[in-house]
Structure 1
Amino acid sequence: MGVLTDYFRAADDAAVLAALGDAEGGPLVGGGRAVFDGTEAKGVDPDVVLGQLIAVVRRVEWAVDLVGGTPVWPTTPPPGREGPADEDDPWVTGPWVMRLDRAVRDTLAELPAAEAAEAGARWAAATAEELPGLDGEDLRPLVEDLSGLARRAREAGEDLYCWLCP
């Protein structure tokens, strides 16, 4: 099974941290209801797969640091930990939440709806190894969802976040 990833928008890190306790199963299904406005994107990790989409939209070459982010959860590494991590250590077991750079949000927000199909096709070609068997038509709805989410986040003055769970 691949990594589960949800992309969502929130006012700030404090709002995300406050909701984490009630969001068993992720920010989109906490308590059986969506805690945040977002979209599921199984296997679309921020650094590689989302990074490929950002590269496609910006028309630049992909690089591992193209999608910048700040860890939000877990909040801090265990103090003075020596030796191997404990099996319950959230830094090892997840889930993890990161706030994406605003440049990523703005790149997705500025993608014209008319270009979603082309971006999906180019993204499918760029991620053939990471998302095998998917073509541009398969990815077009996700491109549209991520772009719409980014637009709503920007209009509300919010940030985009990614929740990852192994």
Structure 2
Amino acid sequence: MGVLTDYFRAADDAAVLDALGETEGGPLVGGAGTVFDGVEAKGVDPSVVLGQLVAVVRRVEWAVGLVGETPVWPTTPPPGREGPSGEDDPWATGPWVTRLGRPVRDTLADLPAAEASDVSARWAAQAEELDGADGEDLRPLVEELSALARRAREAGEDLYCWICL
């Protein structure tokens, strides 16, 4: 089972929640159902894999919480819920949407284009979750995420991640 992850920019949480209602949970990026400007990044979860990219760009060690995610959907578990209750339970299968911290947006936005190749190589070497990916294969994704972050910052928007199993 693969994890689908899309990164996108939006004005605020309310816009994301409206879009999720209109699309019955998404996805919100890609194909005819595109709602937001974004990047499809299958398997690049925000907490670990994107967090490792941010750590590489900042030249720091990766740590839990580096990305500073805030849950957008679902917001809170239903009362009395003790665990997954079936295929229709969004807490069990998704989708989930998180808002990324603005420092992450700005870190990605500030990445100089000339450094994308070096950053991609170091990210590939560091993130074992990328399953031996080659740095040059990751370079377009790094460039797309950086460009998305720049557009988000220029528009005064935040970056979000839509995740589904």
TM-score band (shorter)? over 0.9
The RMSD of aligned alpha carbons is: 1.4
Give the equivalent residue in structure 2 for 1:43: 43
Extract unaligned runs of 5+ from structure 2: none
- Deviation beyond 3 Å, 4+ runs, structure 1: none
The alpha-carbon deviation at position 34 of structure 1 amounts to: 1.1
TM-aligned CA deviation for residue 75 of structure 1: 2.4
Following TM superposition, by how much is the alpha carbon of 1:157 offset from its aligned partner in structure 2, in angstroms?
0.2
CA contact (8 A) 2:27 2:33 kept: no
**d(CA) in 2 for partners of 1:41, 1:140:** 12
Give, as a single letter, the amino acid of the residue that structure 1 aligns with 2:100. L
Following superposition, the deviation at residue 114 of structure 1 comes to 0.7
Q: Tell me the TM-score normalised to structure 2 length.
A: 0.94
**Structure 1, 19-28 or 115-124: larger mean CA deviation:** 19-28
Q: CA deviation at 1:141?
A: 0.3
Instruction: Please list the CA deviations of residues 116-139 of structure 1 after superposition, one character each: whole Å capped at 9, or x if unmatched.
Output: 011100000011x21113111000
Task: Specify the alignment match of 1:154 in structure 2.
Answer: 153
| Percent identity over paired residues | 77
Alpha-carbon separation, structure 2, partners of 1:43 and 1:84: 24
Deviation at 1:85, TM superposition (A): 3.3
Q: Deviations over 1:52-96 (max 9, x none)?
A: 000000000111111111000012210233x44321321122110
Local SS of the residue matching 2:51: helix
- TM-score, normalised relative to structure 1: 0.93
> Residue 124 of structure 2 aligns with which residue?
124
